[in-house]
């Protein structure tokens, strides 16, 4: 295992090499970066399943290497005796030799950052990559709501081959918590964390992988032990070296079996809380603003909108009282409504064919502010032929 002094020397040498390069060095692995007021001011997502995070006020990133993007963090999949992983060797620094032999994921696509950072429209990046020749395709969706101490990762594994595939899905990383390469551990149920204090007592900064899909296993220990446990391609040992101050990391894992043509989906939160608030105590995710369970009824935006004049309907939940509903089209206020059950018109008639952003802001009497955003693409409605033409073609 590398000592902290050796790790520091490697990092210093890496920084010197980067500064000496001309022009300034950039990561060899492409990535998308969700940037916001935070407290997670940057969530960087490699196109091959890796990650890195910046926390407001910290001068270094939260995962090792603390000056590189992406970092030693992300998704790994063991299947058919092969361990598939991000392309760590092509990063601007890595300490993942404990993984042994790995096969880098093959990038397929990565979306731009979408959404506006609200609970109704979180920032989102969708990354697609293949696990070598296994026939497994991974669609990873990462979302962040401004103001939250967590970001959410959903990993969907699709079997594009002709036989069932079984294996292990891992999510984890090498912690660099609060600008330090050493820390203690903490476990909440099956959710391991790197922690400032042993067993998070008293509660202080933690960096945690909190599973939302049941059936996971976990590990917290030295970063080398975490990579070595993943290298076995087996479930993790459900162990935490919680009272030892070490150069640590943590990971969670799920076993999976996916039939041909089927998918399996797993989700978790990555928590960065200076107050030591575990994922189980984080505020519950706000229900979707749109859709069957949402408060706003509006036309779908999956296809172009031929009917340019429509109404949005607000459906308060039981016990919820509305103070005001404000509707904007391309940032221009078009309607203000009050009442128990309200609707408001959206009239795009007379506007040229194009894209329009409809924003609905709902203020409740309790002081809550809900915001939904939909972007519509208008199109010219299909005209019916004259009656005489229809008669001739009948």
Main-chain phi, psi angles of 9, to 5 degrees: -65, -40
Q: Does 1 reside within a domain?
A: no
310 and 169 share a domain? no
Rounded to whole angstroms, how far apart are CA atoms 242 and 128? 35
348 and 208 share a domain? no
Cβ atoms of 236 and 228 closer than 8 Å = no
3-state secondary structure of 277: coil
Rounded to whole angstroms, how far apart are CA atoms 325 and 106? 46
Q: Does 389 reside within a domain?
A: no
Rounded to whole angstroms, how far apart are CA atoms 394 and 345? 39
What pLDDT digit, counting tens, does each position of 73-112 carry?
Answer: 999 999 999 999 999 999 999 999 999 999 999 999 999 9
- pTM score above 0.85: no
Q: What is the DSSP string of 127-151?
A: EEEE-TTSSEEEEEEEEE-TT-SEE
189 and 275 share a domain? yes
Cβ atoms of 177 and 205 closer than 8 Å = yes
Cβ atoms of 191 and 278 closer than 8 Å = yes
Cβ atoms of 51 and 63 closer than 8 Å = yes
The CATH number assigned to the domain holding 337 equals 2.60.40.10
164 and 264 share a domain? yes
Rounded to whole angstroms, how far apart are CA atoms 80 and 82? 6
Tell me the sheet residues that pair with 238.
Answer: none
Nearest to 238 by CA among 222, 253, 255, 248: 253
Rounded to whole angstroms, how far apart are CA atoms 362 and 369? 6
327 and 213 share a domain? no
Predicted pLDDT at 23: 34
Main-chain phi, psi angles of 31, to 5 degrees: -155, 160
Structure tokens at 229: 């446990």
Looking up tokens 């940057």 gives 42
34 and 175 share a domain? yes
Q: Does 393 reside within a domain?
A: no
The CATH number assigned to the domain holding 258 equals 2.70.98.40
Predicted pLDDT at 16: 39
121 and 169 share a domain? yes
Q: What is the CA radius of gyration of the chain?
A: 24
Q: Does 287 reside within a domain?
A: no
220 and 127 share a domain? yes
231 and 191 share a domain? yes
**Taking the CB of residue 228, how many other CB atoms lie within 10 A of it?**
17
Q: Does 98 reside within a domain?
A: yes
271 and 319 share a domain? no
Q: Are strands 103-104 and 82-85 parallel, antiparallel or unpaired?
A: parallel
Q: Does 184 reside within a domain?
A: yes
Largest CA distance in the chain: 88
Mean pLDDT by 10 residues, the chain (394 residues): 43 39 53 95 97 95 95 98 97 96 98 88 94 97 93 97 97 93 95 97 96 96 98 98 97 98 96 94 68 75 77 78 84 80 80 85 74 80 49 42
Going by C-beta distance under 8 Å and a sequence separation of 6 or more, which residues neighbour residue 334? Answer: 327, 328, 344, 345, 346, 347
Predicted pLDDT at 292: 60
308 and 228 share a domain? no
Predicted pLDDT at 305: 75
Nearest to 194 by CA among 271, 236, 250: 250
Q: Does 383 reside within a domain?
A: no
Query: What is the residue range of 318's domain?
Result: 296-377
Rounded to whole angstroms, how far apart are CA atoms 382 and 394? 19
301 and 277 share a domain? no
CA distances from residue 150 to 126, 274, 283, 285 in whole angstroms, order as listed: 17, 11, 10, 11
Main-chain phi, psi angles of 179, to 5 degrees: 65, 30
Q: Does 173 reside within a domain?
A: yes
Going by C-beta distance under 8 Å and a sequence separation of 6 or more, which residues neighbour residue 146? Answer: 36, 37, 38, 117, 118, 123
- Number of structural domains the chain divides into: 2
What pLDDT digit, counting tens, does each position of 341-392 carry?
Answer: 688 888 888 778 888 888 888 877 766 667 778 888 888 654 455 554 444 4
């Amino acid at each position: 295992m590398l000592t902290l002094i050796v790790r520091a020397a490697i990092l210093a040498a890496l920084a010197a090499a980067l500064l000496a390069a001309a022009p300034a060095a950039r990561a060899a692995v492409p990535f998308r970066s969700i940037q916001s007021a935070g407290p997670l001011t940057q969530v960087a997502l490699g196109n091959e399943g890796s990650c890195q995070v910046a926390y407001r006020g910290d001068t270094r990133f939260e995962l090792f290497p603390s000056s590189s993007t992406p970092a030693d963090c992300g998704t790994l999949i063991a299947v058919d005796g092969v361990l598939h992983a991000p392309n760590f060797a092509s990063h601007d620094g890595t300490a993942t030799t404990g993984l042994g032999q790995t096969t880098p994921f093959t990038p397929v696509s990565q979306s731009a950052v979408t959404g506006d950072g609200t609970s109704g429209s979180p920032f989102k990046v969708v990354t697609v990559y293949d696990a070598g020749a296994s026939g497994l395709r991974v669609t990873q969706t990462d979302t962040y709501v401004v103001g939250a101490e967590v970001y959410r990762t959903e990993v969907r594994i699709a079997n594009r081959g002709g036989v069932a595939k079984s294996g292990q899905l891992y999510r984890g990383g090498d912690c660099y918590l609060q600008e330090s390469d050493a820390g203690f551990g903490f476990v909440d149920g099956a959710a391991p964390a790197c922690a400032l204090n042993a067993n998070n007592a008293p509660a202080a900064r933690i960096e945690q992988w909190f599973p939302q899909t049941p059936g996971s296993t976990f590990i917290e220990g030295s970063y080398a032990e975490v990579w070595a446990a993943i290298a076995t391609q087996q479930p993790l040992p459900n162990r935490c070296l919680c009272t030892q101050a070490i150069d640590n990391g943590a990971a969670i894992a799920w076993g999976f079996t996916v039939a041909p043509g089927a998918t399996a989906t797993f989700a978790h939160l990555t928590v960065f809380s200076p107050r030591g608030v575990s994922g189980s105590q984080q505020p519950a995710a706000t229900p979707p603003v749109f859709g069957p369970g949402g408060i706003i009824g509006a036309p779908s935006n999956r296809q172009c909108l031929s009917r340019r004049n429509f109404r949005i309907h607000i459906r308060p939940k039981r016990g919820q009282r509305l103070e005001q509903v404000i509707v904007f089209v391309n940032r221009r206020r078009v309607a203000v409504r009050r009442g128990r059950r309200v609707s408001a018109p959206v009239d795009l008639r007379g506007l040229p064919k194009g894209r329009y952003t409809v924003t609905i802001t709902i203020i409740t009497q309790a002081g809550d502010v809900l915001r939904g955003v939909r972007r519509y693409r208008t199109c010219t409605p299909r005209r019916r032929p004259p009656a005489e033409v229809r008669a001739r073609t009948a």
